Structure 1
Amino acid sequence: MTDLIPSLASIADRYDAVFCDLWGCLHNGQTAFPAAVAALRAFRASGKTVLLLTNSPRPKSSVRQQLARIGVPEDAWDDIVSSGDATQYGLLSGIIGTRIHHIGATKDESFFTDLPADAPALPITRVPLAEAEGVVCTGLRDDLTETPEDYRASLLGMKTMGLTMLCANPDLVVDLGERRLYCAGALAQAYEEMGGTVLYYGKPHPPIYDLARRRLAALCGRDGAEILAIGDGLHTDIQGGIAEGIDTLFVTAGLAAAEFGPDPARPDPALLRAWLDARHMSPTYAIPFLA
């Protein structure tokens, strides 16, 4: 049974740390949510740890710059772990070769240039699709105008060549302000539906949690912290947390806000329960907005 709670503070004493999602919880891609910022600041002020856990395909440094641009202050968090970070380790392990074709936007170039210092020094060469041993997908080249259908021919070509895709962002969609955009996960899903092979490193898959736990242990100086995973993505944030044995807090006013009644600030408990039951998912808690 999922408990609908009024604030993070009402359960904060049960946890040492939070793994907090970004889009839909802390910001909308354009501006920070003041109540969420205040909630995380208060959690940290009580001596606890905030680790931002995001399916962004870009590495930590780029995510940090984006947060600064949209007004998320650095005193609201302790560290950042991105799907891009986790995927870089996968790429540099050589799992799909060294001749790599990239599907993604110019804004994602830092994935290939800002590499982790402790990763293997594998020489990666960016090549056209016809010369590739594997493909890294960080997203659509122009997510403001394109859809997965625009990539059908390229995906069919990849399938014919037997190429494996590394998906650097398992999210299917994201809300930029009031506009819903496709993410790398939508291309990965289309490729899998064609019979292609995809490897995932972000939520809800284990690699990003392995990396997050290591960074959390470094921050806390110990293993075994009691963690709460916060997010608005049922099949990423919540499913991933449950699979990791972590308590979860579902933010109802994010991606699925329209499912729970006309007022996002007052989700209908009966609608919420029925929606979760239909998806065989049971977050530990739910909250309208992170506050």
Structure 2
Amino acid sequence: MSGSLTVSGMGDLADQFDAFLIDQFGVLRDGRGPYPGAAETLSRLKQAGKRIIILSNSGKRSAENDRRLAALGFDPRSWDWFLTSGEVAWRILRAESVKAKIGVPRKCLLISRDGDTSPLDGLDLERTERGEDADFILLAASEGDVYPLSYYEALLAPAAKRGVACLCTNPDKIMLTRTGTAFGAGRIAELYEELGGTVRWIGKPFADIYRTALDFLDDIVLDRICCIGDSIEHDIAGATGAGLKSVLVTTGILETVSDDGRRALFVEHGAMPDFIMPKFIW
């Protein structure tokens, strides 16, 4: 595509950068499991002496994702940090709790997946299952493959009516599942805004997660850091906003989108990748 250089794999790029921020879903794996060759490519990149952060719009905290990726056959030594939007949000909530020193714990309506409570673990918060009495909403994940959007509307409408703030820690509007795609937590957050609620977005393409990652890589200049992802709206736009180079892989959510369709998305989101790669291979 015009303006983006097409490369065949990471072997074409490794020497140009000292650090990589690599998306999880759509680059390393999908809802069924790892992409062929992804684990080997990640290990080879680390063996080449690169600093690697896996940067994910997962509402789960970092340690939960470390364990999950290792269980899929990825070598935990092949990344330096698995940084998730859930981890960034947890740190923000912890700092706010310490600063506020509130005597009575706030009630949080946690919307997560697979019974995951890690976004709240260790925080002085009380969990509620009802929008009617929540003090705030933590929107960490979607079960859009289980429940229709109307389920979330009924759950959230009472909170929106009361002006309860929502923290969305997974801005992805589409998620990859074992059976295909479904609406993600970002779509639920949009619904909350449509209901009149306010949302603070944490994760790609927003600044907090990039600020945290770059603090970790503070000894590396920006033009030697490259982001790799499958979403123009999140990965490529986020990299552009952070002043970083980027690679768009054509796996993941855009796998069936034509070249013309991708060009239209570049225009829509005001971001174009520096490189396009068919998949995360060496």
Distance 1:53 1:179, change over 3 A: same
Does structure 1 conserve the Cα–Cα contact (< 8 Å) formed by 2:106 and 2:126? yes
Q: Classify the secondary structure of the residue corresponding to 1:258.
A: coil
1:75 to 74, 77, 102: 77
Displacement of 1:10 in angstroms is 0.5
User: 1:155-166 residue pairs with structure 2 within 5 A?
Assistant: 155-166=156-167
Unaligned runs of 5+ in 1: 116-121, 261-267
Give the Cα–Cα distance (whole angstroms) in 1 for the partners of residues 228 and 42 of structure 2: 11
2:238 to 233, 237, 240: 240
The answer to whether structure 1 residue 284 and structure 2 residue 274 are counterparts is yes
Q: Classify the secondary structure of the residue corresponding to 1:165.
A: strand
Does structure 1 conserve the Cα–Cα contact (< 8 Å) formed by 2:131 and 2:157? no
- Give the corresponding residue for 2:25: 23
Give the Cα–Cα distance (whole angstroms) in 2 for the partners of residues 71 and 18 of structure 1: 20
Does structure 2 conserve the Cα–Cα contact (< 8 Å) formed by 1:101 and 1:129? yes
Distance 1:237 1:43, change over 3 A: same
Distance 1:223 1:76, change over 3 A: closer
- Give the corresponding residue for 1:99: 107
Does structure 1 conserve the Cα–Cα contact (< 8 Å) formed by 2:232 and 2:265? no
Give the Cα–Cα distance (whole angstroms) in 2 for the partners of residues 64 and 288 of structure 1: 25
Q: Classify the secondary structure of the residue corresponding to 2:209.
A: helix
**Two-structure CA RMSD over aligned residues (Å):** 2.1
Give the Cα–Cα distance (whole angstroms) in 2 for the partners of residues 178 and 71 of structure 1: 21
Give the Cα–Cα distance (whole angstroms) in 1 for the partners of residues 179 and 17 of structure 2: 33
For 1:170, the aligned partner's letter is P
- Give the corresponding residue for 1:129: 131
TM, length-normalised to structure 2 = 0.88
Give the Cα–Cα distance (whole angstroms) in 2 for the partners of residues 231 and 223 of structure 1: 20
Distance 1:29 1:94, change over 3 A: same
Give the Cα–Cα distance (whole angstroms) in 2 for the partners of residues 279 and 83 of structure 1: 21
Does structure 1 conserve the Cα–Cα contact (< 8 Å) formed by 2:62 and 2:82? yes
Displacement of 1:178 in angstroms is 4.2
Distance 1:216 1:278, change over 3 A: closer
- Give the corresponding residue for 1:50: 52
Give the Cα–Cα distance (whole angstroms) in 1 for the partners of residues 240 and 42 of structure 2: 22
Aligned sequence identity (%) = 27
The answer to whether structure 1 residue 168 and structure 2 residue 169 are counterparts is yes
Cα deviation, 1:112-135, whole Å, max 9, x if unaligned, reads: 22x5xxxxxx62122343222111
Distance 1:94 1:279, change over 3 A: closer
